[in-house]
Amino acid sequence: MGFAIAGAIAAIIGSAVSAYGAYSQSQAQAAAARYNAKLDENQAINAQNQAQVEMERRRELYKRQKGTQLALMGGSGIELGEGSPLLLEADSAEQAALDLARVRYEGQIKSTSYQSEANIQRFSARTATRQGYVSAGASLLSGAGSAASGYARSQVGTT
Protein backbone atom coordinates (compact mmCIF):
# COMPACT_ATOMS: atom_id res chain seq x y z
CA MET A 1 0.00 0.00 0.00
CA GLY A 2 2.88 2.37 0.76
CA PHE A 3 4.24 1.86 -2.72
CA ALA A 4 0.86 2.65 -4.23
CA ILE A 5 0.68 5.95 -2.38
CA ALA A 6 4.28 6.75 -3.27
CA GLY A 7 3.51 5.95 -6.90
CA ALA A 8 0.45 8.16 -6.83
CA ILE A 9 2.42 11.01 -5.29
CA ALA A 10 5.19 10.55 -7.87
CA ALA A 11 2.61 10.63 -10.68
CA ILE A 12 1.08 13.82 -9.29
CA ILE A 13 4.50 15.46 -8.86
CA GLY A 14 5.53 14.38 -12.35
CA SER A 15 2.38 15.82 -13.85
CA ALA A 16 2.87 19.06 -11.92
CA VAL A 17 6.43 19.37 -13.25
CA SER A 18 5.20 18.59 -16.76
CA ALA A 19 2.40 21.15 -16.39
CA TYR A 20 4.84 23.80 -15.22
CA GLY A 21 7.14 23.00 -18.15
CA ALA A 22 4.28 23.38 -20.62
CA TYR A 23 3.20 26.62 -19.00
CA SER A 24 6.76 28.02 -18.95
CA GLN A 25 7.33 27.10 -22.57
CA SER A 26 4.10 28.79 -23.62
CA GLN A 27 5.04 31.92 -21.69
CA ALA A 28 8.43 32.03 -23.43
CA GLN A 29 6.75 31.62 -26.83
CA ALA A 30 4.24 34.34 -25.98
CA ALA A 31 7.01 36.70 -24.84
CA ALA A 32 8.96 36.09 -28.06
CA ALA A 33 5.84 36.74 -30.15
CA ARG A 34 5.12 39.98 -28.26
CA TYR A 35 8.73 41.07 -28.80
CA ASN A 36 8.44 40.30 -32.52
CA ALA A 37 5.19 42.27 -32.66
CA LYS A 38 6.96 45.28 -31.16
CA LEU A 39 9.77 44.94 -33.70
CA ASP A 40 7.22 44.83 -36.52
CA GLU A 41 5.46 47.91 -35.14
CA ASN A 42 8.80 49.73 -35.10
CA GLN A 43 9.47 48.61 -38.67
CA ALA A 44 6.05 49.99 -39.68
CA ILE A 45 6.95 53.37 -38.19
CA ASN A 46 10.37 53.25 -39.87
CA ALA A 47 8.78 52.50 -43.25
CA GLN A 48 6.55 55.58 -42.90
CA ASN A 49 9.49 57.74 -41.81
CA GLN A 50 11.69 56.50 -44.66
CA ALA A 51 8.96 57.30 -47.17
CA GLN A 52 8.59 60.80 -45.69
CA VAL A 53 12.34 61.42 -45.87
CA GLU A 54 12.47 60.15 -49.46
CA MET A 55 9.55 62.40 -50.41
CA GLU A 56 11.33 65.44 -48.95
CA ARG A 57 14.53 64.51 -50.79
CA ARG A 58 12.67 64.20 -54.07
CA ARG A 59 10.75 67.46 -53.53
CA GLU A 60 14.07 69.27 -53.22
CA LEU A 61 15.38 67.52 -56.31
CA TYR A 62 12.28 68.47 -58.33
CA LYS A 63 12.49 72.05 -57.09
CA ARG A 64 16.10 72.28 -58.28
CA GLN A 65 15.23 70.66 -61.63
CA LYS A 66 12.39 73.14 -62.14
CA GLY A 67 14.72 76.03 -61.36
CA THR A 68 17.28 74.70 -63.82
CA GLN A 69 14.62 74.27 -66.54
CA LEU A 70 13.32 77.81 -66.05
CA ALA A 71 16.82 79.28 -66.05
CA LEU A 72 17.78 77.47 -69.25
CA MET A 73 14.59 78.46 -71.03
CA GLY A 74 14.72 82.05 -69.80
CA GLY A 75 18.39 82.32 -70.71
CA SER A 76 17.73 81.20 -74.25
CA GLY A 77 15.06 83.85 -74.78
CA ILE A 78 12.06 81.52 -74.69
CA GLU A 79 8.87 83.15 -73.44
CA LEU A 80 7.94 81.44 -70.18
CA GLY A 81 4.38 80.87 -69.02
CA GLU A 82 2.83 80.05 -72.39
CA GLY A 83 2.95 77.45 -75.13
CA SER A 84 5.48 74.62 -75.02
CA PRO A 85 7.40 75.93 -71.95
CA LEU A 86 4.15 76.03 -70.00
CA LEU A 87 3.25 72.50 -71.13
CA LEU A 88 6.75 71.27 -70.18
CA GLU A 89 6.46 72.88 -66.75
CA ALA A 90 3.00 71.37 -66.19
CA ASP A 91 4.18 67.93 -67.31
CA SER A 92 7.21 68.10 -65.02
CA ALA A 93 5.01 69.09 -62.08
CA GLU A 94 2.59 66.26 -62.82
CA GLN A 95 5.41 63.69 -63.05
CA ALA A 96 6.87 64.95 -59.78
CA ALA A 97 3.49 64.69 -58.06
CA LEU A 98 2.99 61.15 -59.36
CA ASP A 99 6.44 60.13 -58.17
CA LEU A 100 5.82 61.58 -54.71
CA ALA A 101 2.47 59.77 -54.52
CA ARG A 102 4.20 56.52 -55.52
CA VAL A 103 6.81 56.93 -52.76
CA ARG A 104 4.07 57.67 -50.21
CA TYR A 105 2.06 54.65 -51.37
CA GLU A 106 5.06 52.31 -51.16
CA GLY A 107 5.72 53.53 -47.62
CA GLN A 108 2.10 52.90 -46.67
CA ILE A 109 2.20 49.41 -48.19
CA LYS A 110 5.36 48.52 -46.26
CA SER A 111 3.96 49.99 -43.07
CA THR A 112 0.68 48.09 -43.45
CA SER A 113 2.57 44.87 -44.10
CA TYR A 114 4.59 45.31 -40.90
CA GLN A 115 1.43 46.17 -38.95
CA SER A 116 -0.24 43.01 -40.26
CA GLU A 117 2.76 40.97 -39.17
CA ALA A 118 2.61 42.62 -35.73
CA ASN A 119 -1.07 41.63 -35.48
CA ILE A 120 -0.20 38.05 -36.38
CA GLN A 121 2.54 38.02 -33.73
CA ARG A 122 0.14 39.34 -31.07
CA PHE A 123 -2.36 36.64 -32.03
CA SER A 124 0.42 34.07 -31.80
CA ALA A 125 1.27 35.32 -28.30
CA ARG A 126 -2.33 34.94 -27.16
CA THR A 127 -2.55 31.49 -28.73
CA ALA A 128 0.69 30.36 -27.07
CA THR A 129 -0.57 31.53 -23.69
CA ARG A 130 -3.88 29.69 -24.11
CA GLN A 131 -2.09 26.59 -25.35
CA GLY A 132 0.10 26.68 -22.25
CA TYR A 133 -2.93 26.71 -19.99
CA VAL A 134 -4.52 23.84 -21.91
CA SER A 135 -1.31 21.78 -21.93
CA ALA A 136 -0.70 22.41 -18.24
CA GLY A 137 -4.28 21.45 -17.40
CA ALA A 138 -4.05 18.32 -19.55
CA SER A 139 -0.82 17.29 -17.83
CA LEU A 140 -2.37 17.76 -14.40
CA LEU A 141 -5.50 15.82 -15.33
CA SER A 142 -3.48 13.04 -16.92
CA GLY A 143 -1.25 12.80 -13.85
CA ALA A 144 -4.22 12.77 -11.52
CA GLY A 145 -5.85 10.06 -13.63
CA SER A 146 -2.69 7.98 -13.63
CA ALA A 147 -2.31 8.41 -9.89
CA ALA A 148 -5.92 7.42 -9.24
CA SER A 149 -5.70 4.47 -11.61
CA GLY A 150 -2.48 3.21 -10.02
CA TYR A 151 -3.88 3.60 -6.55
CA ALA A 152 -7.12 1.84 -7.53
CA ARG A 153 -5.15 -1.10 -9.02
CA SER A 154 -3.18 -1.40 -5.79
CA GLN A 155 -6.39 -1.53 -3.79
CA VAL A 156 -7.99 -4.31 -5.85
CA GLY A 157 -5.83 -7.04 -4.27
CA THR A 158 -5.95 -5.64 -0.72
CA THR A 159 -9.69 -5.91 -0.03
- Local confidence band at 45 (pLDDT 50, 70, 90 cut-offs): very high
- Per-residue model confidence as pLDDT tens digits over 13-29: 888 888 889 899 999 99
Q: pTM for the complete prediction? A: 0.70
C-alpha 98/C-alpha 100 separation (Å) is 5
pLDDT band at 159, cuts 50/70/90? Answer: low
Distance between CA atoms of 118 and 37, rounded to whole angstroms? 4
Gap between the Cα atoms of 12 and 133, Å rounded: 17
Cα dist. 36→12, 28, 56, 72, 136 in Å?
36, 12, 30, 53, 25
Written as one letter, the residue type at 99 is: D
Q: 94, 113, 95: which is closest to 51 by C-alpha? A: 113
User: What's the domain count of the chain?
Assistant: 1
**Residues of the domain holding 73:** 2-156
Residues 101-117: pLDDT tens digits?
A: 999 999 999 999 999 99
Query: pLDDT band at residue 34, thresholds of 50, 70 and 90?
Result: very high
